[in-house]
Amino acid sequence: MKKMLLAAMIVAPVISNAAELAYISNEKDDSISVINVDTLKVQETFGVGERPRGILMNKDRTRLYICASDSDTVQVYDLATHKIIKNLPSGEDPEQFALHPDDRQLYIANENDAVVTIVDTETNEVLSQIDVGVEPEGMAVSPDGAIAIATSETTNMLHWIDTKSHQLVDNTLVDQRPRHVEFTKDGRYVWASSEIGGTVSVVDVATRQIAHKLNFKIRGVHSDRIQPVGIKLSSDGRYAYVALGPANHIAVVNAQTFEVEDYILVGRRVWHMDLNADESLLLTTNGISGDVSVIDTQKRRAIKTIKVGRYPWGIRILKTES
C-alpha cells in the first residue's frame, strides 16, 4: 500500500502538469510521433524497434507498450523518463495486443505463428501460448477480464480464450479478414471489423453469435474500397467510430440503433483512432498520406491534418485526469 501511494505521488505531478499527448506508431519509420493535443503539433519523435504497429498504455499511464513487429518484440517505454526500459518476449511478429484488467498480463497476437502469446509484463515471463487461426491480428480482453478474443485474418474467426485456463473455448465465424475487436464498456457486446468483407459484426458475448451486422455505403466510393479496420467506441456507449481504410472515411455509427449516421472524410488509408479525454476530438492515423486527421466529434468533420512519420498505424492518447 505504501509503495502504491509513493508511486502515485511520483506519477501524479507528471500527469497534472502535462498536456494531453497522442502517441502514434509510424510503421515504416520505426518511430513514434508525439502530438500535443492542445496545440495540435508534433512535439517529439523518437525511434523504436522495427515496424511498430499496435501501441497501448497501462492503467496508471506510466508505460507505453509498443509492438515492434519486425523486431519480434514488445517494447516497454517509460513515459516519465522517455526511455525504452525493456523488451518483452512476444513471440514472432506481434501486431496487436491487449492488456488484461489486472494490468499485468499482456495478450499478444503473433501474426506469423498462428498463436496468441500471454506475457507477464512484470516478470517478463511467457505464461502461455495458445493456438488460434491463420494470421491472428485483432486482440481484446473483456472489461471483467474473463475472456480474451483474437481475430484471425485468414481463418476469418473470432477465437474466444478463457483467461483463467488459457484455453480456447469457442470460435465465431465472421466475414473475410477480421482485423480488430473492441468490447463495449459493459462487456455485453464485441465489435469486430472485417476488412475485405466490408462489414462490422456486433457479437453478443453471452451467445457468441453475431447480433448485428453493419454495412457501409459512401457515394462515389466503390464498395470494394470500403474496408473497415479500426473501431473506437465512445465511453457513453452512444457512438462507434469505424475507420474505413482506403475509402478514406470514418463512419459514425449510432451504437444503440446500429445505423450509420455520418461519414467523415479523412486522409488516405485510415487505420486506427483514439478519442481525447473529453471525447471532443477524434484523431485518426492515415497510412498512405502519412498524417493524422483531427476530427471535431460535434461538428463531425476534420478540422486539421498533422504530418507525422511514414505509414502511421497505431494511436493512443495519454489522457489527463479530468
Partner 1 sequence: MFSTEERFLDEMGGISLIPPFPIDKVALKVGEVITIKNILTAMIASLALISGNVSAELQVDFLYLSEIRDQGPVLSNILPPPADQGIRGAELAVNDSNTTGRFLKHSYSLTEKSSQDAGQLIDAASEAYKSGNRFFLVDGSSALLTQLAETLPEDALLFNASNPDDQLRTQECHASVFHTSPSRAMLTDALAQWIKARKLKKVLLIRGEADADIKYTDAFKRAAKRFGLKLVDELVWNFDTDLRRAAQRELPLFTQTDEYDLVVVADEAGDFGEYVPFNTWYPRPVAGTQGLTPVAWHRVVEQWGAAQLQSRFEQLAGRWMNSVDYAAWLAVRAVSESVTRTTTNDSLILRDYLLSDTYQLAAFKGRKLTFRGWNHQLRQPIPIVHPRALVSLSPQEGFLHPVNELDTLGFDRPESRCALDKN
Which cell is 51 given?
A: 515496424
# of chain residues touching partner 1 (CB under 8 A): 37
Residue 9 DSSP SS3: helix
Q: Determine which residue in the list 131, 144, 261, 278 makes contact with partner 1, applying CB under 8 A.
A: 131
Residues 147-186 that bind partner 1 (CB under 8 A): 152-157, 159, 167-173, 175-177
Contact status: 224 vs partner 1 (CB under 8 A): yes
DSSP letters, 152-173, are ETTTTEEEEEETTTTEEEEEEE
- The CA distances from residue 86 to 21, 27, 74, in Å, are 22, 20, 9
Residue 81 DSSP SS3: coil
User: Closer CB to partner 1, residue 64 or residue 229?
Assistant: 229
The burial of 222, by beta-carbon neighbours within 10 Å (0-12 exposed, 13-18 middle, 19 or more buried), is given as exposed
Contact status: 209 vs partner 1 (CB under 8 A): yes
Kindly indicate which of the ranges 79-87, 96-104, 141-149, 191-199 contains the residues binding partner 1, using the contact rule CB under 8 A.
191-199
DSSP letters, 174-224, are -SSSEEEEEE-TTSSEEEEEETTTTEEEEEETTTTEEEEEEE---TTS-GG
Contact status: 246 vs partner 1 (CB under 8 A): yes
User: Closer CB to partner 1, residue 161 or residue 317?
Assistant: 161
**Binding track, positions 99-128, relative to partner 1; x by CB under 8 A:** ------------xx-x--------------
Binding interface with partner 1 (CB under 8 A):
93, 111-112, 114, 131, 133-135, 152-157, 159, 167-173, 175-177, 195-198, 207-209, 222, 224-225, 227, 246
